[in-house]
Each structure stands twice: as C-alpha cells, then as structure tokens.
Amino acid sequence: MKHRIHLKKSLLFVMMITLGLTHHMCSFAQKQLTIDAVPVATMNSALLESSGIAVTQPNRIWSHNDSGNPNKIICIDSSGNVLRTLTISNAENNDWEDMALDPSGKLYICDGGNNNNDRRNLKILILPNPDEVEGNAVDAEIIHYTFEDQTAFPPPQSNRNFDVEAIVWKYGYIYLFTKNRSTPQNGWCKLYRLPAVAGQYTAALMDSINLGLNDAAARVTSADINQQTGELALLTATRIISFTDYVGDRFFSANRREYFFSTGQGQIEALQFFDKRKLYMTEEGSSGSPGKLYRINLDVVIGLDQQDESALIEVYPNPSFGHFQVKIARTGSFEANIYAQDGSYVRSLMISNGAPLDLLDLPAGNYFLTTYINDKQLLKQLMKR
C-alpha cells in the first residue's frame, strides 16, 4: 500500500529545516531512547561543585571543583569516599570545567570556563598519570590558547559561544566543545582542535552542530570519548548525545543517537566512560549540600520496543559514497522525499524493504529522507561522502 506525503506536510518540513529545528525531527530521541541515571553515592563535601571527572582505574574517580575553588584534584571511590588529593602547584583554578584522559594515563584539565566570553587566559593543564604521582603536589604543563574566530572580548550577546566546558583527547589532539551562551539561543555547539602538547596555540575551528534552540538542549557541559570503541558522548542538561562510526575526527558526521534522562537531576556537569557503554556522571551540589554520583548504562533503554518508531526504517551504510540500502520493517512500497540540508527539495522516489537508494549524482553532504509509515512521519539523515 502506498502512503503519499502531502504537500503541506512537506512544506512544513522544509520550513522546519530552514529554521534550524530539524534536530527535533531527525532524532525522534525523546520518544525513542530514555535512560536511567542511577545515583550510586553522594559526593564528598570536598567536591561540592564537581565539574569534571576522570576514571583512571576501577573504583578510582578523579574530580575537581570549578571556579574560585582550590587548585586541587580529588580522587574518590564509587561510594564517594576520598582516597587522595593532589595540589597543582603552578596553576590557579580560574574556571576548571572538564577532564580528559589519553591512553597513557595523562590527565588534561580544561581551564576554559568562560561564562562572559571575555577571558584571555584560557588554558588546558597537562598532568602525568595522577595515580603515579608521588607526594601531594604536582606541576602541570600548560596549553595556552585563543580562538581563531573570536575578535571581541566579550562579543555581542548574539555570538557568545566561546565558553568551553567539554573536552576529549583523540589522535594526539584535544578537542573542545563549546557551551553556547548566546542570547537568543541559536543552538550551535562549535568544535575546536588543539595539539595535546604544552605551548601557545590558536584553537582551530573544525565543525559545528545544532543541538536545539533552548539552553537545556544546546549547552554542552561535558564530553568523553571511549578510547576502545571510539564512541563520543556529549552531556547536556536533559540528555547524552552519542556519536559513532565517524571517519577520522569528523565527529558530527557520524551516526548520532540521543539518550534522554528518565528523571531530572541537579546541575549535571561531568561524565566519563568506565566500560564499553557505561559512564559515571556527577552533578554540582546546591545549598551547601553535595551532589550525586550517577551510573549510566547506554545499553539499558527504557521502553524502546514501544517507543522506537524510527526503527521501522534503516538506511545503511551511512555515511556512504552514494550507494545506500533501505531496510523497512513493513511490506509494500512507500513514497519518500529527499531534501538537502538547507531544506531544499531534491527529488521524490519510491522505497521498499531491501531496495537500493542511489545518490551518486548528488554532491557530498548531508541529506534527509522523509516518508510516512503507519501514519507516522519518519526522517532519516543520509551522509554522502
């Protein structure tokens, strides 16, 4: 049975892409993927404003507080007990906001908190593996950086997107993800890159992605990358955004899934993988009381069978050089439309289970396939290399 896409709905879809709202439609994530953040401990009072974590060994979680707090990192276990404290002798805590580890155990601390977008002393601190440091103090090597596209300190309210509270290490580089403080919120998270060695650098702007037009959706507060699987996770107030199967460091051209929290937390500020698809997450405290340490399993999704309407259709391989295959969990043929990333109409076609989808004649870029199945409008992003 054919399901015709009505012109009015197609035009509405074009308008929504043009307005930058497609993330709501593309992911269907709020309906599809819901996860529990399970509290496992109350943070120690020494970590009242935990804003970064790094898991160096099973049951050894390093963390730090954010701006205005001592220049210390603190190791706790999964019950919140303090195991050790290290002072970073040659660095102040201007606004420490995240941690990252490389495979050798080196620890990187992001001193890139920049609420007003006016800082000129942005840094990444580099520490040796903290578990191997003798004594209670250590000196840091320092990466000093500026942004290649920042010319005003602060910039206009509409372009305040130079606060970095999320970093990861990959391929010998530090990747920085911005926390967008623009007013009105425009939704863009920018990705920058720095060499992971001490020195003075200009952070290179690599890419950007729109995460939504409100602060809870758009503001990234932490990031981590699983060095074994390559999965990248970004944290916002409402969800974890996962990127997999990317090429090189083209993280935002990857397969993207969004995992929404089943319940609200406090001000969640930090996360890191400690297993293949398991993460720890911390929140800042409030009213003098510490926040919680949470455990998250991305493989345990609530109500997926009932909620995952987009699982009716899959397109693979994705990305592709132009040859895609369509998998539909229904019999029959379905009318579909292809749109460019800017919302412009490309073509209409019929799709069915097992049928090829050929975009060889189109230039490389992101496209969208939309169709109706079971009276539900479904949307798939297609990435052509």
The DSSP annotation for 98-161 comes to: EEEE-TT--EEEEE---TTS--S--EEEEE--GGG--SSEE--EEEEEEETT--SSS--GGG--
* Domains 7-28+308-384 and 34-304 belong to one CATH topology: no
Token pair, residue 144, equals: 């000093």
Q: How confident is the model at residue 341 (pLDDT cuts 50, 70, 90)?
A: confident
- In this prediction, residue 378 carries a pLDDT of 79
Higher-pLDDT residue of 364 and 212 is 364
> What's the pLDDT band for 343 if we cut at 50, 70, 90?
low
Which of the residue ranges 37-41, 234-238, 258-262 would you say has the lowest mean pLDDT? 258-262
Predicted confidence band at 301 (pLDDT cuts at 50, 70, 90)? Answer: confident
Instruction: Kindly report whether the global pTM for this prediction surpasses the value 0.85.
Output: no
- Whether the pLDDT of residue 235 is over 90: the answer is yes
Mean pLDDT value of segment 34-49: 95
Greater confidence (22 vs 277) lies with 277
In terms of CATH architecture, what is 34-304?
6 Propeller (2.120)
**What is residue 139's predicted lDDT score, i.e. its pLDDT?**
98
Q: What is the DSSP string of 268-325?
A: EEEEEESSSSEEEEEEE-BTTB--EEEEEETT--BTHHHH-GGGGEEEESSSBSSEEE
- Answer whether CATH 2.60.40.3080 is correct for domain 7-28+308-384: yes
Say which range, 23-27, 46-50, 337-341, 381-385, has the weakest mean pLDDT: 23-27
* H/E segment holding residue 53: strand 50-57
* pLDDT of 32 strictly over 60: no
Domain ranges of the chain: 7-28+308-384, 34-304
Tell me the average pLDDT across 122-129: 98
Q: Give the mean pLDDT of 95-99.
A: 98
Residues 196-218, mean pLDDT to the nearest whole number = 93
Stated as kind and residue range, the H or E segment containing 27 is helix 22-27
Q: What's the average model confidence in pLDDT over 205-227?
A: 93
